[in-house]
Chain A
Amino acid sequence: MNKNWPLWEVFIRSKAGLNHKHVGSLHAADADMAIQNARDVYTRRNEGVSIWVVESTNIAASDPADSDQMYEPAKDKVYRHPTFYNLPDELKHM
């Protein structure tokens, strides 16, 4: 049996209205402890206002070996970016 506490992934929302972002991982015995540990490890310099934790084993990840078939095909399809529109000058921040 693994004697280490399970691994958790930590997501922090830096301020209201923004997304939670993955900041790292830590060990904890359960979700409550993971949130407390995340508070101590990842928010001590005012980094956040909200914490999500999820046990790492619950994350399904894509296989790096499949990169070619997964991501290559998108590379030559520039038309999927809305870059062919002429924007009026008045439109800013696009």
Chain B
Amino acid sequence: MQDQNKFNYIIQQADNCLILGQRLAELCGHGPVLEQDIATTNISLDLIGQARLFYQYAAELQEEGKTEDDLAYLRDAWDFKNVLLVEQPNGDFGKTIFRQFLYDTFSCYFYEELMKSSDERLASIAAKSHKETLYHMKWSGDWVIRLGDGTEESHNRIQQSVNELWSYKDEIISVNAVDQEAEKAGYGVSLELIKEKRNEKIKAVLEEATLTTPEGDYAHKGGKEGTHSEHLGFILADLQFLQRAYPGNEW
């Protein structure tokens, strides 16, 4: 392994992309209306595409002759470093939307910073992903506003999701040892910078959506260190079943 910390740093974001992509993929064929079914599936594919670019790079750094598939399909739950937010269940459409919005407001500004990474490969993955994420944030943000400023029922239901997911908002911008070392080495980003921009965006959208910002800033943590909610095991069972049951199978 050339650079263990860089590997860990890449895996964190790769896992966020893969697990949220998998969550959204569950909606394929089950979206609330045809047009939004396709929208969520498109976003799912974008995220899985981003995950692949990161895993491919991570597998190269690992120098163990492994591929992106080994990283996606053959690691166990405690090896995954995604935040708890992205493994939360889809719930109703409001919950899917607000989870997406909390993620998009991170990834959009994260990629904006990562584009300036001293590591050219990371910078180019970020540039490609940033364009996709800009659209994701527009889509999820518009929907937060529509539902919040919609009917009484849509307002109440998305407010409920805002309240439920609020404590999962900040893990993604919490700084761990991997982030610290990555930023110091120049290939990582400043999460502090992202936090400010992100909070402003979230505040503006909630206001326009006539939604109430929950009080308190308690944040669930653990995902970035590999301590997950019970949901991740089920997600991986779906995601990894085929490779586990029929090793090396392809189609």
Q: Which residues of A contact B (CB under 8 A)?
A: 5, 26-29, 32-33, 36-37, 39-41, 44
Are A40's CB and B142's CB within 8 A? Answer: no
Are B33's CB and A27's CB within 8 A? Answer: yes
Q: How far is the CB of A75 from chain B (nearest CB, A)?
A: 40
Are A41's CB and B35's CB within 8 A? Answer: yes
Are B35's CB and A37's CB within 8 A? Answer: yes
Are A40's CB and B146's CB within 8 A? Answer: no
14 contacts between A and B (CB under 8 A): A5-B33, A26-B35, A27-B35, A28-B35, A29-B146, A32-B142, A33-B142, A36-B138, A36-B139, A37-B35, A40-B35, A40-B42, A41-B35, A41-B38
Q: Is the interface of B mostly helix, strand, loop or mixed?
A: helix
Are A44's CB and B33's CB within 8 A? Answer: no
B39 at the interface (CB under 8 A from A): yes
Q: How far is the CB of B106 from chain A (nearest CB, A)?
A: 21
Q: How far is the CB of A45 from chain B (nearest CB, A)?
A: 11
Name the A residues within 8 Å of B138 (CB-CB). Answer: 36
Are B35's CB and A44's CB within 8 A? Answer: no
Chain B, 33-56, contact with A by CB distance < 8 Å: what is the 0/1 string?
Answer: 111101100100000000000000
- Centre residue among A39, A40, A41 by max chain B CB count within 10 A: A40
Instruction: Kindly report which residue of chain A lies nearest to residue B41, judged by CB atoms.
Output: A40
Other-chain residue from B36, B42, B139 in contact with A44 (beta carbon distance below 8 A): B42
How many Å lie between the Cα of A27 and that of B135 in the bound state?
20
Name the A residues within 8 Å of B35 (CB-CB). Answer: 26-28, 37, 40-41
